[in-house]
Structure 1
Amino acid sequence: MTTTAKFDPWSAAFVAHPYDAYAELREHAPVTYFEPTGQWLVSRYEDVSALLRDRRLGRTYTHRFTHEEFGRSAPDPAHEPFHTLNDHGLLDLEGPDHTRIRRLVSKAFTPRMVEGLRPTVQRLAGELVDGLLAAGGGDLIAAVAEPLPVAVIAEMLGVPEADRHLLRPWSADITGMFELNPTEEAARRAVTASTEFSEYLRALIRERRAAPGGDLISALIQAQEGADALSEQEMVSTCVLLLNAGHEATVNTTGNGWWALFRNPDELARLRADVDGLLPTAVEELMRWDTPLQMFERWVLEDIEVRGATIPRGAEIALLFGSANRDPARFADPDRLDLGRADNPHITFGAGIHFCLGAPLARLELSESFGALLRRAPGLRLVRDPEWRPGYVIRGLQELPVEV
């Protein structure tokens, strides 16, 4: 059996529990080539952390090379709407464009601006939990985990409440293209969602240009007319990224986190006994213990060497966040859920220039969501074991049925 034989991102059993395979990779092949996806897998914390900051790697290569120069094929023209949308987003930009757009958008995510959202997030979380209580239970993901971050981001962007039901399906279809070797059907859905979402946002931008408000879209329009101009495509791509990145991780951390608590009843009881004292470290530990984004990919722009392995320009590196966050070289007893863990420099939000811009908002949403459930539904219990969605890169549960 080869070292990567247990690494099977298309297997339901692996998606449900990838951590044994990660341990084997860290021990025997911390940097190894994975033929099925044509990627170099990097599994140790020290290496993942360093490569996130290494400027010889990039989220894109087209700012420096053509596809031919880089030894890669151009994307399928049929997928153009998805790539146009994705390639103009902050997460997949490098160089001056990334710096310019991040500087503009970051003004909405300062600690003071995020803290100003706390009353709104508290109110929304409380209303959602009260709805779950009134129903006697239900799917925790559909009832609480999904609607909270969607509502918050939609509020920030100024998306009317009547349209918010459109956002999550569009996001789910678009992010399907981030999985490994996506099917043509997944690509078709992503293209359709990219087209529809882009058209919707262009119409919303026209409305805000005619009648500005206090929302982020209005602020981006004003920036577009200033010295640091944003193109309309950059505005559209930025808004889509804020929605997708701004809620996918929060939804999955909520679902994965409660599933972790139900499997660790002593830690759940510990948290219930000291919600105020433990909640801040508990949120960080739940993000570490069952990371929602398992893999983050970067292109090799110059030949590099990692642990004796020479990785050539043109290769793609897959940084295994879920493995790095369970590395015993960095975390004491990493497979144990410890809600009071003090030394916890997890890399769930990444590092370097692509560190998650919305990390403060995600922490706020998670704290208020878990806090509302712990305080208002102290008897919350699992009805049956959940199933995982088939995706590996963005990893989360299908549903989480609970009673109150």
Structure 2
Amino acid sequence: MTALDTADPGFIDDPYPTLAALRAEAPVVWHDGWGMFLATTHAAVTDTLKSRDFGRIWSDFEPEDQMAQVNSLHRNQLMENEPPAHTRLRRLVAGAFGRGHVERMRPRVTALAEELIDSFEGGDIIAQYAEPLPVFVIADLLGVPRTDHADLRRWSQAIVHLYEPGTTQATKTAAAQAADEFSAYVRDVVAFREQHPGDDLITGLIAERAEGDRLSEDELVATVVLLLNAGHEASVNAFGNGLVAALQHPDQWRRLVRAETDIAVAAEEWLRFDAPLQLFERTAVADTQVAGVPIAQGQKIACLMGSANRDETVFGESANRFDLGRDPNPHVGFGLGRHFCVGAPLARVELQASIATVVRRFPALRLEATTRRPTWVLRGYEAVEVFSA
């Protein structure tokens, strides 16, 4: 199998040649180091994510005494469960992220983007614009103070680093502390909302019933933490990855400035070209197969999302080209099947608003410097320095 060292700086900088080599080998390959299969093609990834023979089966981190809260946050939220628990938990939050409700939020999201860009005079657009926007949006939706956004971001990043291959003890220790602090924070917010209900999602979750089954406190805390994490991590990375790609391709940036391509269409290419989530893991719940490869019950398969999004059999000879007019664009950035991202409509509104606002305010934007996050599964930039010529 083609060597896959996800900690190699060269791979983190540009994983796509390696992913292309894996696709050329086979739709499904075995990775000895991870002890699991890898789905490399668009078809193999799609089949895996849509198949009822695979599920999200959570395995607790060890040691339990240190990782107890990390494990509780995962085993009690919808992303790490299958039906019937997944169905019940998803139903509770789905209404808040429905397309109609989210579209009614669009003016508010756009106004927030304009408010943030008003104070931007150049420098790191991630810290000053891309990070606050989705955090503020999800904080407002949940009823959490915007002023706490730095803590929310810090806790979130510490926890999601657990999803990278080769988790170290230092990563576990940082995630455990973040999970403890994050959970205590959410419990305080829940306690406040129980006494002082508001027009927010946490108040709604407290009062919600699903088939007569009230959310337990652990489920409520885990759901809120998941929404705060997932509600901004991918959005920040999608904006940063797409902005860098657009500025590195001046012809495509000009298409935005001249309104030669629809913003909604362009946003889908931002999600496809340099995927903010590179890997989704599944476990076989029955003996099955993908692309003719037998996979036994209990074996794991990692869907390489960035590889699927560059598959030449789907995206043609232009698969490795950044094309803001690409339509249709069947990328798999939000997943597929029952675990399709519940927040996808909101993420799209945020991305479209953030792109449109930056292009309108800074049509002559130039890229000065970038700093990549030292991770691959959650692919993004720690900093993107820009200036307006």
TM-score range, shorter chain: over 0.9
Which residue in the other structure is 2:93 paired with?
A: 105
Which residue in the other structure is 2:44 paired with?
A: 47
Counterparts of 2:287 and 2:57, CA distance in 1: 15
Which residue in the other structure is 2:241 paired with?
A: 256
Which residue in the other structure is 1:313 paired with?
A: 297
Counterparts of 2:361 and 2:145, CA distance in 1: 29
Which residue in the other structure is 2:2 paired with?
A: 4
Counterparts of 2:310 and 2:140, CA distance in 1: 35
CA distance 1:130–1:96, shift in 2 (3 Å): same
Which residue in the other structure is 1:127 paired with?
A: 115
Counterparts of 1:93 and 1:225, CA distance in 2: 16
Normalised to the residue count of structure 1, the TM-score between the two structures is 0.93
Tell me the alpha carbon deviations over residues 189-210 of structure 1, each in whole angstroms, 9 at most, x when there is no partner: 1111111111111111111111
SS in 2 for 1:298: strand
- Contact persistence 1:39–1:315 (CA under 8 A): yes
Q: Which amino acid aligns with 1:4?
A: T
Q: Following TM superposition, by how much is the alpha carbon of 1:226 offset from its aligned partner in structure 2, in angstroms?
A: 7.8
Counterparts of 1:225 and 1:30, CA distance in 2: 40
Q: Which amino acid aligns with 2:54?
A: L
1:219 to 197, 204, 209: 204
Normalised to the residue count of structure 2, the TM-score between the two structures is 0.96
**1:263-278 to 2 correspondence within 5 Å?**
263-274=248-259, 277-278=261-262
1:187 to 123, 147, 172: 172
1:13 to 5, 10, 15: 10
- Contact persistence 1:12–1:388 (CA under 8 A): no
1:326 to 307, 310, 329: 310
Q: Following TM superposition, by how much is the alpha carbon of 1:401 offset from its aligned partner in structure 2, in angstroms?
A: 0.3
**1:5-404 to 2 correspondence within 5 Å?**
5=3, 7-60=4-57, 75-77=62-64, 78-132=66-120, 135=121, 137-223=122-208, 227-274=212-259, 277-332=261-316, 333-384=318-369, 386-404=370-388
Q: Which amino acid aligns with 1:76?
A: P
Tell me the alpha carbon deviations over residues 106-156 of structure 1, each in whole angstroms, 9 at most, x when there is no partner: 010112211121122111100111111xx3x01011011100000000001
Tell me the matched-pair count: 386
Counterparts of 2:333 and 2:16, CA distance in 1: 15
CA distance 1:203–1:225, shift in 2 (3 Å): farther
Counterparts of 1:149 and 1:314, CA distance in 2: 36
Counterparts of 2:26 and 2:148, CA distance in 1: 48
Counterparts of 2:213 and 2:367, CA distance in 1: 50
Q: Following TM superposition, by how much is the alpha carbon of 1:308 offset from its aligned partner in structure 2, in angstroms?
A: 3.3
Moved more, 230-239 or 298-307: 298-307
SS in 2 for 1:95: coil
What are structure 2's unaligned runs of at least 5 residues? none
Q: Which amino acid aligns with 2:244?
A: W
SS in 2 for 1:33: strand
Tell me the alpha carbon deviations over residues 226-282 of structure 1, each in whole angstroms, 9 at most, x when there is no partner: 82311111111111111111101100011000110111111111111116x421110
Q: Which amino acid aligns with 1:279?
A: I
Q: Which amino acid aligns with 1:312?
A: A
Counterparts of 2:110 and 2:247, CA distance in 1: 24
Q: Following TM superposition, by how much is the alpha carbon of 1:349 offset from its aligned partner in structure 2, in angstroms?
A: 0.2
Q: Which amino acid aligns with 2:38?
A: L
SS in 1 for 2:204: helix
Q: Following TM superposition, by how much is the alpha carbon of 1:306 offset from its aligned partner in structure 2, in angstroms?
A: 2.3
Q: Which amino acid aligns with 1:92?
A: E
Q: Following TM superposition, by how much is the alpha carbon of 1:163 offset from its aligned partner in structure 2, in angstroms?
A: 2.4
Runs of 4+ in 1 over 3 A off after TM superposition: none
Q: Which amino acid aligns with 1:82?
A: V
| Identity level (%) | 44
CA distance 1:13–1:112, shift in 2 (3 Å): same
Counterparts of 2:54 and 2:145, CA distance in 1: 39
